[in-house]
Amino acid sequence: KAGVTQTPRYLIKTRGQQVTLSCSPISGHRSVSWYQQTPGQGLQFLFEYFSETQRNKGNFPGRFSGRQFSNSRSEMNVSTLELGDSALYLCASSTVAGAPPSTDTQYFGPGTRLTVL
Amino acid sequence: DQQVKQNSPSLSVQEGRISILNCDYTNSMFDYFLWYKKYPAEGPTFLISISSIKDKNEDGRFTVFLNKSAKHLSLHIVPSQPGDSAVYFCAACFMNRDDKIIFGKGTRLHILP
């Protein structure tokens, strides 16, 4: 079956703009988690959605928001972009909510590379 | 505050030898640990995990060792192969809590021919 897909793969924005990233989970997966990867901080958890509800949230400012649709697709929005928001944004899906091992392992998408100029 | 630390940003190992990737954690309440492998332009993929009730878990060439008293775990790859060149992330979470996974910053492994 198809894996997790993320669009767009690459994005260039300028400071102050906003951006919306999209994630389509594996068919049948209802949980979508978002992560930010930077060289300095590694992989940091942003938030998790399950059945259109946010279940967990990491330590990111309110400029970072997300939502999940009834078909489990998820979007992440970052408003008022800052240079430090340049990163690889990864989403991961799993069949049920919560961290392993209560769920099966998360499956990651290839990521969206966001560059803020 | 990094709860999961991978202090070596990179590691080079000769093909055929053993690769040892290390990971330290600060929260003694973590009770489940995972390793992920990431190639460029791809998302991380799950490699191997270990529960805190064990001190070793083996899967083919990959073995994870857990030392709870030292709050340290390591991933051993034997023998190392060229396809093992990737970034390896250590991660930790709580088995009975619906909470997020905490990742380390990753270690880039280079397998030398």
Closest residue in B to A33 (Cα) is B100
Lowest mean pLDDT of A75-89, A100-114, B37-51, name the range. A100-114
Which residue carries 């489990």 as its tokens?
Answer: A72
Between the alpha carbon of residue A29 and those of residues A1, A50, A71, A110, the distances in Å are 12, 9, 10, 17
Can you read off the two tokens belonging to residue A38?
């930077």
Q: How far is B90 from chain A (nearest CA, A)?
A: 10
Q: Tens of pLDDT along A17-35? A: 999 999 999 999 999 999 9
pLDDT of residue A11: 96
CB contact under 8 A, A100 and B49: yes
Amino acid in the structure at residue A42: G
Q: How far is B57 from chain A (nearest CA, A)?
A: 15
Q: Tens of pLDDT along B70-110? A: 999 999 999 999 999 999 999 998 876 667 888 999 999 99
CB contact under 8 A, A108 and B43: yes
Q: How far apart are CA B87 and CA B96, in angstroms?
A: 28
pLDDT exceeds 70 at position A102: no
- Beta-strand ranges (E) seen in chain B are 4-5, 10-14, 19-25, 32-38, 45-51, 56-59, 62-67, 72-77, 86-93, 102-103, 107-112
CB contact under 8 A, B106 and A42: yes
A117 three-state secondary structure: coil
CB A102 within 8 A of CB B98: yes
pLDDT of residue B101: 85
CB B61 within 8 A of CB B46: no
Q: How far apart are CA B14 and CA B94, in angstroms?
A: 35
Q: How far apart are CA B35 and CA B18, in angstroms?
A: 17
Between the alpha carbon of residue B109 and those of residues A39, A41, B95, the distances in Å are 15, 18, 29
CB contact under 8 A, A35 and B103: yes
Percentage of residues in chain A having pLDDT higher than 70: 94
- As a whole number of angstroms, the longest Cα–Cα distance in chain B is 44
Closest CA to A44 of B69, B16, B102, B8: B102
* Chain A to chain B Cβ contacts (< 8 Å): 76
